[in-house]
Amino acid sequence: MTFLRRWLVVLAGIAVLVALPSAVAALPSHTPELSASQLLTRIQHSASTPYSGYAESTGGLSLPVTNQFSSIADLFGGQSQLRVWWRSTNDWRVDSVGIAGETDVRRSARGYWTWNYESNSATWAGQPQAPSVRLPTAVDLTPPELGRRLLSEALPREASRIGSDRIAGHSAAGLRIRPGAQSGAHCWATSPWASR
Amino acid sequence: MSRGSALTPGQLAVRTLIAVGYVAFSMLGVAAVALFLSTLTDSALLASLGALAILIASSLLLTIDASRALQPYLPTRYWLSFIDLFRNPILWRNVVRGVALQGVYVVVLLGGAWANFTTKDITS
């Protein structure tokens, strides 16, 4: 009898532990009341909003490239763990964290410092202006940067609000973009969520 | 040769101590598995081999892409995260998750052992 009672206690405890993550995810989200165009403007002008955080991206595109562009292949086909400290578009640091090392890029007004732990080397690229055509780098995978890129050409009339959601534990406002909403010829839509 | 920001000896000592503590704590999950298995069987060998089997299976599953959905729950998932203690600044995320995960394993398996072990165990 003790045996059964004790097992019931343990099973109840396990059930609570298992339910905990979904209970946290189900917490109601609160976002400020904003119209679609207000939210869109905020996202498009968010480049100078400072933040710091951690982001993960998983790529599903296997590129048939060898050593020369291995960083691109890793970015598109593998998992990237990023740590970001952001002040503005020309003042930030983004670390690509690996299992036993990291590659850090520090952008300042005077150029780019790239620090690679495995090769124990730091390189300096003194470009005050980013080139207009370049290969994607880790900084392009940060969620705010992706969101701004996705919405850079969006017009207020193409935007509509959808419900807010809880993303990575934060309340985030939902926005839907239907490109060419008036012609109705395009049928794809994108739904980013934005959070402070 | 250029170098990144260096840690002071004091920082290094503190971080090494935390890393040692973290690694030791990370083993508690496997120890709890062994303890739980020992309440299921009379054989000490079977209990330790069972814990070893779970340890090896967990390490193997971590290397397979197909088991990605399972990976956050494997007992050895955050074992290597002690490396994050030597980043600058420290990346606490995985260390905290590692401690929490081990805590869950310890609580659940010790609970199971307690539930399973209601009488005196003198059989051999």
8-state DSSP, A190: B
Q: Which residues contact B91 (CB under 8 A, 6 or more apart)?
A: A54, A83, A97, B84
Q: Report the C-alpha gap between B18 and A96 in whole angstroms.
A: 23
pLDDT, one tens digit per residue, over A110-152 is 888 888 888 888 888 876 566 677 788 888 888 888 888 888 8
Q: At B26, which helix (H) or strand (E)? A: helix B9-26
Angle (nearest 5°) at CA B82 between B78 and B86: 140
Structure ipTM: 0.77
Q: Which chain A positions have a beta carbon within 8 Å of B84's beta carbon? A: 97
> Band of the pLDDT at A184, cuts 50, 70, 90?
very low
pLDDT, one tens digit per residue, over B59-99 is 999 998 888 889 989 999 999 999 999 998 899 999 999 99
Q: Report the C-alpha gap between A133 and A152 in whole angstroms.
A: 17
Rounded to an integer, the average pLDDT of A13-38 is 85
Question: Do the chains contact at A54 and B91, CB–CB below 8 Å?
Answer: yes
Among the partner-chain residues A7, A99, A121, the one whose CB lies closest to the CB of B115 is A7
Q: Which chain B positions have a beta carbon within 8 Å of A13's beta carbon? A: 107-108, 111
Of all residues in chain A, the percent with pLDDT exceeding 70 is 89
**CB neighbourhood size of B74 (10 A):** 19
Among the partner-chain residues B2, B91, B114, the one whose CB lies closest to the CB of A6 is B114
For residue B61, which amino acid is it? L
> Residue A108 has what pLDDT?
87
Among the partner-chain residues B2, B84, B118, the one whose CB lies closest to the CB of A122 is B2
Quote the pTM value: 0.81
Helices B92-116 and B28-38: angle between axes, nearest 10 degrees: 10
Q: Which chain B positions have a beta carbon within 8 Å of A100's beta carbon? A: 80, 83
Of all residues in chain A, the percent with pLDDT exceeding 90 is 14
